[in-house]
Amino acid sequence: MGQKQLMQAALAGLALAVTGLPAALPAQNLTVLQGSVQEPIDVPLNRAVVVESDVPFTELSIANPGIADISSLSDRTIYVLGKAPGRTTLTLLGADGQLISNVEVRVTPDVAEFKERLEQILPGQGVEVRTANDGIVLSGTVDSIQDLDRALELANRYAPDRVSNLMTVGGTQQVMLQVRFAEMNRTVTKSLSSSLGIQGTTLGGDLGVSAGTGALNDGTTLGGAFGGNLPAGGTNTAGVLLGFNAGGLEVGLLLEALEQRGVVRTLAEPNLTALSGQTASFLAGGEYPIPVAQGDGTISVEFKPFGVELNFVPRVVDGDLINIEMQAAVSSIDTANGISQSGLNIAAFRRRESSTTVEMRDGESFAIAGLLQDDFRDLNGQVPWLGDVPVLGALFRSASYQRAQSELVIIVTPHLVTPTRGEALALPTDRVRPPSERDLFLFGRVAASQAPTTGGAGEVARQDFSGSYGYVMD
């Protein structure tokens, strides 16, 4: 056989081998064996349960030994110990290697002991305890925020950071804070000053004298004073000018006295309502513009609030016991202590504030008092040496006396409140209606003569106040 025939025979054999191979290998089918259907096994954390199988098994395995530990007590009995919260799978195999069952093992916190402790701490409360995944779910209704906090704190002992709170607090959880601010300012100012002036010339007119103290140190003003007018320099409310002539010599004496008394009262009575744990604020006053220089040389304006300010956070602790965190302040504009810069006048502020936290029951009151301020100032001015002369030295002295006292009292009363129907409430404007043309032009009435008959104002108008009413204090 020649070489050409051998090459042809080899190519024919290779072609037959290629055509004899299958086009593709068939895919292998995989079947997941479930075994017999079993209920999940619930195992408390750090506790053990014993599970019995209906058929004998020869091999056991646990998917995650960190969650549960297993051991066989016999060919039908299994000991399962919960080690960590979570879920894993327990597998049982028979003698022939066939799968008997895959059982889900759930390790949960020990709620049995938790329920016992919860009943001891909060007896009679409707708290329901459930497990979810690896945590505890609390639901139901408790009487107060304090009971809710106790239940959550106890649950965190058994499942740290894995507690779901679905509990609600029963009872009234809205607090109205009735606050009364009373500030009294008293000022007293007294002053007594004297001025002496002497003016004269010699007979020849070659020698003249002009001397004085206080407002009479100006010879031109002294001449006008002798004409019956007080010197322009006098600033006090009362003055007496005495003078006499001795030839060409004029002597003038001015006595000035001042006494001022002032009383200022500031009063505010805000009533604020807030949900337990929420913040309520109040401001009776205004906002004062203050210029602020910026880095680029421009000036912006910021507004600073002043007046009576109140911020409080109520918390219903237990029943009618209320915890109140309160901040109160009274401020006012003080122009006397302001500054002037670049043509801008910026006033100062007088501010007194208080911050406290108290607990009291519904209707009880507490007072923040003792916020006293007493400013005293006196000034004595005199001519050196002459003011020290007995009796006559009073003509060369001036004295002033100023005293300012202020006192702030804050009285706070909390109340538990519930909403009511809107038609049962009346506003101060409900009983005042615009007058008709007949009432205005014919009878001169600035409000309608007919009282309202509907709404809260109508309800008040229908009440009979012919007898005694109001508050009675024994």
Structure tokens at 60: 């056991």
- Say which residues have a Cβ less than 8 Å from residue 460's Cβ, sequence separation at least 6: 426, 431
Domain 111-169 has CATH 3.30.1340.30: yes
* Higher per-residue pLDDT: 220 or 95: 95
Question: With the CA atoms of 282, 285, 291 and 295 taken in that order, what torsion angle do they form, in degrees rounded to the nearest 10?
Answer: 0
Structure tokens at 216: 């009479």
**Cα angle for residues 107, 109, 115 (degrees, 5° grid):** 140
pTM of the model: 0.52
Q: pLDDT band for position 226 (50/70/90)?
A: very low
Residue 124 backbone class (left: φ over 0; alpha: ψ -120 to 50; beta: rest): left
Whole-Å CA distances, 42 to 83, 132, 138: 12, 12, 19
Distance (Å, whole) CA 11 – CA 7: 6
Name which of 106-110, 131-135, 190-194, 425-429 the model is least confident about: 425-429
**Cα angle for residues 148, 152, 155 (degrees, 5° grid):** 140
Name which of 96-110, 165-179, 331-345, 444-458 the model is least confident about: 444-458
* Neighbour-count burial of 401, counting CB atoms closer than 10 A to its CB (0-12 exposed, 13-18 middle, 19+ buried): middle
Closest residue by Cα to residue 134 from 64, 71, 204, 78? 64
Residues of CATH 2.60.40.1080 domain(s) within the chain?
41-108
Task: List, for residues 155-188, the tens digit of each pLDDT value.
Answer: 888 888 888 888 887 766 788 888 888 877 778 8
> What's the pLDDT score for residue 222?
44
Helices of type H across 345-418: none
Residues in the chain: 474
Residue type present at position 380: N
**Cα angle for residues 355, 356, 359 (degrees, 5° grid):** 155
Name which of 11-25, 148-162, 330-344, 366-380 the model is least confident about: 11-25
Distance (Å, whole) CA 275 – CA 237: 56
For the chain, the C-alpha Rg in angstroms (whole number) is 48
Residues of CATH 3.30.1340.30 domain(s) within the chain?
111-169
The DSSP result for 303-354, as a single string, is EEEEEEEEEEEEEEEETTEEEEEEEEEEEEEEEEEEEEETTEEEEEEEEEEE
Task: List, for residues 78-117, the tens digit of each pLDDT value.
Answer: 999 988 888 899 998 888 888 888 889 988 887 888 888 8
Distance (Å, whole) CA 299 – CA 302: 10
Q: Is 230 within 8 Å of 193 (Cβ atoms)?
A: no
Domain 41-108 has CATH 2.60.40.1080: yes
Helix, strand, or coil (residue 223): helix
Taken in order 54, 57, 62, 67, is the CA torsion positive or negative? Answer: positive
